Amino acid sequence: MAAAVASQRRYHSTEAAYVLPNDAVEQERLDAQAAAIVEMIGGRPVLAPIEHFPRISKAVDVGCGTGIATLQIADLTRPSATIYGLDLSPIPERVLKIAPSNVVWATGNVLDVEKPAAGQVDDIFAPNSLDYIFGRMLFLGINDWTRYFATAARSLSSGGIIEHQDLDWVFYRAGTSERLNTNWDWHHRVVAAAHKAGLSTTAGSGAASLMKDAGLEIISVQTFEFSFVPSRKTPNSISMGKYVMEKLVPNYPELLRKMLGGAEGVSGDDLDRLSKQALADIQSEEGIHQKYTVTVARKP
Ligand SMILES: C[S@@+](CC[C@H](N)C(=O)[O-])C[C@H]1O[C@@H](n2cnc3c(N)ncnc32)[C@H](O)[C@@H]1O
């Protein structure tokens, strides 16, 4: 009955859709995930060659989490550039201490731009002002992707770049596009709950088309296997598989509780049963993975 027990975790105090916690355990998970993502996509945190864009004077890492990519973007760009790290929750103290002076941290919801609650978010996303927008793993936080990319397109300077890295909530066999989740009850319910909350289950593969609709020109789309179980078939994702088993799998019951409890009303034995099914399914074979897509686009 573990899944039915009230949560001991700490969450973002905001009206935003985001369901994951923001406590020390989560911050450690995010840093481990960031390292595994960098290895999975070839050793760089970003795929746009931003160190060769001398014109970057203002950039933002949207939903920056612990700020790990914000610092890496600051390293790759000129010290005179202003790099914003924006999140619903404040950045951990240990990161504030080591950040260079050109990094500016901001707390807020990117979807609040031009709303009364916007505050500092309006300054970050002022029209034609940003040269680079980075966003990674926002699929549980953005519940209006049309608005998100419209905001991005409006705030980019002409020639400015957006890079979006995200997951689709579909499970595949290693090295293939063969779907494994067709008959998974828990998965159907999570997808239905996500859609009801306005979230996308194709935040990775769907980005290019939404960016085009927002008037952006696609430069590149690259897809990687975000492995849940390590496989020799995808050597760059072996660390990802280890990270998932050590840090993500233990958090899955809590994620399901947040997504299927509340509005969906699943609790007690039902929730326990679905959690057990989920844990078995997501580890059911070597190389089982979700697709991770990196999309880079430019404002004409
Ligand atoms: C899964 S974490 C990824 C963190 C970071 N991008 C990374 O890859 O390490 C998602 C982060 O986005 C933030 N977030 C979610 N929705 C947001 C929103 N609407 N506006 C600003 N931040 C948001 C969350 O607070 C969380 O820290």
Domain around 217: 2-298
Does 3 score more than 90 pLDDT? no
| CA–CA gap between residue 89 and residue 248 (Å, rounded) | 20
109 lines ligand 1 (CB under 6 A): yes
CA distance 89 to 65: 8
Residue 38 CA, ligand 1 centroid: distance in Å: 17
To the nearest whole percent, how much of the chain has pLDDT over 90? 80
The arithmetic mean of pLDDT across residues 5-20, rounded, is 59
**How far apart (Å, rounded) are the C-alpha atoms in residues 62 and 294?**
15
Domain count, the chain: 1
pLDDT of residue 23: 77
Cα–Cα dist 251/109, whole Å = 24
Using the atom order of ligand 1, give the atom closest to the CA of residue 87: 22
* Verdict on whether the full-model pTM lies above 0.75: yes
Rounded to the nearest angstrom, the distance between the alpha carbon of 34 and the centre of ligand 1 is 12
Q: What is the pLDDT of residue 4?
A: 36
Query: How confident is the prediction for the chain on average, in pLDDT?
Result: 92
Model pLDDT for residues 61-109, shown as the tens digit of each residue: 999 999 999 999 999 999 999 999 999 999 999 999 999 999 999 999 9
The pLDDT assigned to 15 comes to: 64
Q: Kindly provide the b/e burial profile for residues 151-168, where b requires at least 16 CB atoms within 10 angstroms of the residue's own CB.
A: bbbbbbbeebbbbbbbbb
- Whether the per-residue pLDDT at 6 is higher than 50: the answer is no
Q: Supply the pLDDT for residue 8.
A: 64
Reported as a single tens digit per residue, the pLDDT across 241-281 is: 999 999 999 989 988 988 898 767 888 899 999 999 999 99
Question: Measured from the CB, is residue 18 less than 6 Å from ligand 1?
Answer: yes
Whichever domain contains 204, its CATH number is: 3.40.50.150
